[in-house]
């Protein structure tokens, strides 16, 4: 059964509908892909049905959707779910990079009534800073291939305001701390060198702990110098369920009171009226082998003063 959406979650009341004609929303969600040769951890049909429900609810309807951990075979299903939920045509792009035998891609989709995708690139390296790495084992079938998830960058044209801005979909490295920190540095440098408005959204794996108001080294690298501004949810809500199943501690979150999913803005976008919230749904945590271990995060923007 689909889990019902709650407009009231942890004290956060999500906007019931757009309050300005110029407003738009970005929804970012790690949908948790299945790994080849491993037991399933999610069901694409369930995730797609939940995406339809999110788009049909005025409180969580978005014109831009940024998904991470997307298996190539699920792309068409998620695209159709976005379109069905909106009742509109959508356009989309996916990343070529992605770990786990290319089962871990990024996806950006837009409502074509509001946005047009004008340019797309992946940030593998910038200004001498790596944002990905290659497989160096000559015995591997993937030798020389880009191994991790490079940030997916798209330039969007707003058909309503006749302005353009960049959206960056992210799922930064989880197990490689040094690479994740370099990815934060590369994103900061890229934004500093490009003066147009930017939104970066997704699973950054920044391990921001509520009790200490601190993130890891990659978080520090991303926000250094104030190039990127975090649209910090108020109050903060845990966005990831991480259960240590090997220890037998079922139903216990290994990292409570922390957040991995973020929305950042840079350049002129910092002057837009922007807010973000973590979407909490009934019984979404703990997740199971049909649902994602991440909660979606939604940001609302009014780009016109």
In a domain, 158, yes or no: yes
Q: Is residue 1 part of a domain?
A: no
Examine the pLDDT at 254 and tell me if it is beyond 80.
yes
pLDDT of 281 over the 90 cut: yes
Task: Give the per-residue pLDDT at 102.
Answer: 58
From 7-21, 48-62, 80-94, 241-255, the region with the lowest mean pLDDT: 7-21
User: In this structure, what DSSP letter does residue 240 have?
Assistant: B
In the chain, the number of structural domains is 1
Asked if residue 106 is part of any domain, the answer here is: yes
Gap between the Cα atoms of 219 and 181, Å rounded: 8
Banded model confidence at residue 207, pLDDT cuts 50, 70, 90:
very high
Q: By residue range, what is the domain housing residue 88?
A: 21-302
Give the global pTM.
0.91
Percentage of the chain modeled with pLDDT above 90: 77
Q: What is the pLDDT of residues 129-188, one digit of tens each?
A: 999 987 665 665 554 567 789 999 999 999 999 999 999 999 999 989 999 999 999 999
What is the CATH classification number for the domain harbouring 34?
Answer: 3.60.10.10
Do 191 and 227 meet the contact criterion of CB atoms below 8 Å apart?
yes
Written in H, E and C, the secondary structure of 27-79 is EEEECCCCCCCCCCCCCHHHHHHHHHHHHHCCCCCCCEEEEEEECHHHHHHHH
DSSP code of residue 296:
-
**Residue of higher predicted confidence among 117 and 12:** 117
Q: Which residue has the higher pLDDT, 252 or 69?
A: 69
Q: Strand 64-70 to strand 163-171: parallel, antiparallel, or no bridges (unpaired)? A: unpaired
pLDDT of residue 304: 81
Q: Which two tokens stand for residue 97?
A: 């990079």
77-86, 96-105, 167-176, 205-214: segment of lowest average pLDDT: 96-105
Residue-level pLDDT at 13: 44
Instruction: Characterize the bridge pairing of strands 90-94 and 115-122.
Output: unpaired
Q: What is the pLDDT of residue 8?
A: 36
Query: Does residue 16 form part of some domain?
Result: no
pLDDT of residue 145: 60
Strands, DSSP E only, in the chain? 8-9, 12-13, 24-30, 64-70, 90-94, 105-111, 115-122, 125-126, 129-130, 152-158, 163-171, 198-209, 228-230, 258-266, 273-278, 297-302
Task: Collapse the DSSP code of 81 into the 3-class scheme (helix H, G, I; strand E, B; otherwise coil) and give the result.
Answer: helix
Residue 6 lies in a domain: no
Q: Span 203-212, mean pLDDT?
A: 97
Instruction: Check residue 12 and give its pLDDT.
Output: 44
Q: Does any domain span residue 293?
A: yes
What are the structure tokens assigned to 167, written together? 């959206």
**Average pLDDT of the residues in 268-290:** 96
Examine residue 4 and state whether it is found in any structural domain, yes or no: no
Of 6, 75, 9, the C-alpha closest to 237 is 9
- Does residue 193 sit within a domain? yes
């Amino acid at each position: 059964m689909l889990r019902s959406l709650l407009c009231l979650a942890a004290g956060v009341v999500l906007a019931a509908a757009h309050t300005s004609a110029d407003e738009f929303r970005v929804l970012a969600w790690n949908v948790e892909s299945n790994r080849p040769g491993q037991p399933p951890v999610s069901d694409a049909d369930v995730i797609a049905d939940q995406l339809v429900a999110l788009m049909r609810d005025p409180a969580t309807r978005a014109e831009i959707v940024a998904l991470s951990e997307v298996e190539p075979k699920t792309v068409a299903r998620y695209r159709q779910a976005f379109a069905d939920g909106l009742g509109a045509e959508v356009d989309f792009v996916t990343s070529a990079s992605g770990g786990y035998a290319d089962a871990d891609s990024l996806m950006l989709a837009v409502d074509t009534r509001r946005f047009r995708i004008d340019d797309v690139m992946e940030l593998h390296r910038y200004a001498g800073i790596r944002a990905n790495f290659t497989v160096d084992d000559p015995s591997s079938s993937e030798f020389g291939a880009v191994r991790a998830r490079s940030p997916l960058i798209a330039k969007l044209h707003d058909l309503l305001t006749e302005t353009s801005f960049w959206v960056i979909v992210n799922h930064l490295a989880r197990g490689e701390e040094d690479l994740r920190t370099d990815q934060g540095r590369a994103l900061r440098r890229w934004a500093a060198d490009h003066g147009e408005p930017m939104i970066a959204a997704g699973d950054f794996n920044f391990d921001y702990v509520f009790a200490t108001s601190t993130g890891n080294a990659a978080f520090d690298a991303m926000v250094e110098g104030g190039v990127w501004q975090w649209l910090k949810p108020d109050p903060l809500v845990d966005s990831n369920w991480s259960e240590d199943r090997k220890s037998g501690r079922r139903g216990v979150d290994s990292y409570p009171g922390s957040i991995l999913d973020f929305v950042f803005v840079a350049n002129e976008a910092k002057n837009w009226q922007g807010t973000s919230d973590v979407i909490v749904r009934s019984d979404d945590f703990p997740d199971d082998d049909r649902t994602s271990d991440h909660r979606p995060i939604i940001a609302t923007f009014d780009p016109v003063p």
